Structure 1
Amino acid sequence: MNLPKIIADLVTAQNEFDSLAYANCFSETAVVFDEGKTHTGKADIQEWIEDSNKKYKSVMKPLSIVHEGKTSVLSAECSGTFPGSPVILKFHFDIEDGLIQTLKVTG
């Protein structure tokens, strides 16, 4: 599967539990929507993913990607220490200038 570089970098960072590398995939003003919460800016995103990594130890296995206008939707099998693992989630990315501007995670 041919993922855009920034999405491939994010998957690698997630699978290595590297919250700094994960946050560096986002712009300074990026917004993440996940589990009913909004996280704004790189520092907030890094704090969120670091907490998530500690709680869930989630790893991603990309299954497919579809490009819809400026949005890329990655379907990935996510497994970890959370109830119902593994699950297939959709990651909706808006990318500008090589960085993620928005990420919305849906079931």
Structure 2
Amino acid sequence: MKLPENIAGFIKAQNDLDSTAFANYFTAQATVSDEGASYSGREEIKQWIQAATEKYNMQLTPIDFTQTGSKRKLTVEVSGRFPASPIVMNYHLELDGSSISSLKITD
């Protein structure tokens, strides 16, 4: 599957466990919704992904990718240190140019 460069980079940053690079794929005012919590701005997003990475050591494997206008849906297999690993999750992304302005993670 051929992914846009920014989406491929976003996945690579996660799989490299690089929270700074991961956060840099987001706009300065971006929001993330995950597990009932929300995070705003690159610094909060960086702290969120760093804590999640330390706890779960997640790795993402893309399964499917669709796009409509500025909205993208990335389906990934997420593996790591958590019950029922691996699981399939959906990353609902909205872009502002090539940067992510919104990410909502659902199962």
Same fold (TM over 0.5): yes
1:48 aligns with 2:32: no
Other structure's SS at 1:32 match: strand
Distance across 2 between alignment mates of 1:30 and 1:60 = 21
* TM superposition shift of 1:68: 2.7
In structure 1, what residue type is equivalent to 2:35?
E
In structure 2, stretches of 5+ residues that fail to align are none
TM-score, normalisation: structure 1: 0.97
Aligned to 1:33: 33
Equivalent runs, 1:1-40 vs 2, <5 Å: 1-40=1-40
Give the deviation of 1:41 after TM superposition: 0.1
CA RMSD of aligned residues (A): 0.7
Aligned amino acid, residue 37 of structure 1: A
Percent of aligned pairs with the same residue?
Answer: 37
Equivalent residue number for residue 103 of structure 1: 103
Q: Kindly tell me the number of residue pairs found equivalent between the two proteins.
A: 107
Query: Structure 2: how far apart are the matches of 1:6 and 1:98?
Result: 6
Runs of 4+ in 1 over 2 A off after TM superposition: none
User: What's the secondary structure of 1:47's corresponding residue?
Assistant: helix
Structure 1 unaligned spans of 5+: none
CA distance in 2, matches of 1:68, 1:89: 19
